[in-house]
């Protein structure tokens, strides 16, 4: 078999064309399941968000002092858990990153610098006041959204949800804001994890 033997055009029946398109669609659908295998990450980050944000509410209402360390605990646990999952899945799959995955990684790195260096410099010469309580969750929402454009609509949904919650939180009184983030952000991540898990088990 060589290229010259197969490169000639030939007529194709409509039902054959439909079968070809259906095959492509099924194949693309099956590759989306790769995202669904990441469900433990979302299930883990959901309660961590709840702990982080409800901790702020709690501490303002007489909670224990150790809660001041909650973000260090949350971030250490979250990033360690994520790293363990990524390494384990890479070992299990034993494949190099695809061009798409590498591009998404660099896009996310670019987005991080744009949000935390580029935008503040462009808008206010690096001296603008940023409401980090809402800016960081808004950035996380956008980061999920951008990854979702390439990886699957579940990330688009949760990204839009988190960014919308962060935007709305800017108009909420401070004592309500933390519970709002805990329930909507943490809950949203947890539910996304459960939906991905269900998607994986159904396949």
Asked whether 161 and 184 are in contact (CB, 8 A), the reply is: yes
91 binds another protein (CB under 8 A): no
Stretch that binds another protein, among 10-18, 47-55, 61-69, 193-201 (CB under 8 A): 10-18
23 binds another protein (CB under 8 A): yes
Phi-psi region at 97: left, alpha or beta (left = phi > 0; alpha = psi -120 to 50): beta
Q: Which residues does 148 contact at the CB level (< 8 Å), separation at least 6?
A: 154, 155, 156, 157, 158, 159
Q: How far is the CB of 31 from another protein (least distance, A)?
A: 6
Q: Of 91, 99, 126, 129, which lies in the binding site for another protein, with binding defined by CB under 8 A?
A: 99
SS3 of 40, please? helix
Size of residue set near another protein by CB under 8 A: 31
Q: d(Cα 51, Cα 32) in Å, to the nearest integer?
A: 30
Stretch that binds another protein, among 5-13, 123-131, 138-146, 163-171 (CB under 8 A): 5-13
> For residues 160-177, b (16+ Cβ closer than 10 Å) or e, as one string?
bbbbebbeebeeeeeeeb
Q: d(Cα 109, Cα 116) in Å, to the nearest integer?
A: 11
Q: How far is the CB of 110 from another protein (least distance, A)?
A: 17
203 binds another protein (CB under 8 A): no
* C-alpha gyration radius of the chain: 22
31 binds another protein (CB under 8 A): yes
Q: Of 68, 83, 86, 93, which lies in the binding site for another protein, with binding defined by CB under 8 A?
A: 93
Q: Which is nearer to another protein, 19 or 60 (CB)?
A: 19
22 binds another protein (CB under 8 A): no
Could you list the residues that contact another protein (CB under 8 A)? 1-3, 6-14, 17-18, 20-21, 23-24, 27-28, 30-31, 93-96, 98-101, 103
């Amino acid at each position: 078999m060589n290229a010259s033997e197969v490169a000639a055009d030939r007529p194709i029946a409509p039902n054959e064309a439909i079968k070809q398109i259906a095959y492509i669609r099924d194949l693309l659908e099956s590759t989306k399941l790769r995202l669904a295998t990441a469900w433990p990450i979302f299930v883990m980050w959901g309660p961590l968000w709840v702990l982080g944000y409800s901790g702020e509410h709690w501490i303002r209402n007489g909670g224990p002092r150790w809660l001041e360390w909650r973000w260090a605990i949350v971030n250490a646990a979250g990033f360690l858990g994520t790293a363990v999952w990524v390494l384990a899945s890479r070992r299990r799959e034993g494949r190099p990153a695809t061009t798409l995955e590498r591009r998404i990684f660099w896009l996310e790195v670019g987005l991080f610098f744009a949000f935390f260096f580029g935008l503040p410099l462009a808008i206010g010469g690096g001296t603008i006041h940023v409401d980090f309580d809402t800016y960081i969750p808004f950035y996380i929402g956008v980061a999920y959204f951008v990854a979702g454009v390439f990886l699957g609509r579940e990330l688009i949904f949760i990204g839009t949800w988190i960014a919308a919650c962060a935007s709305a939180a800017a108009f909420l009184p401070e004592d309500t804001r933390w519970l709002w983030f805990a329930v909507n952000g943490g809950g949203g991540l947890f539910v996304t994890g459960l939906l991905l898990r269900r998607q994986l088990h159904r396949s």
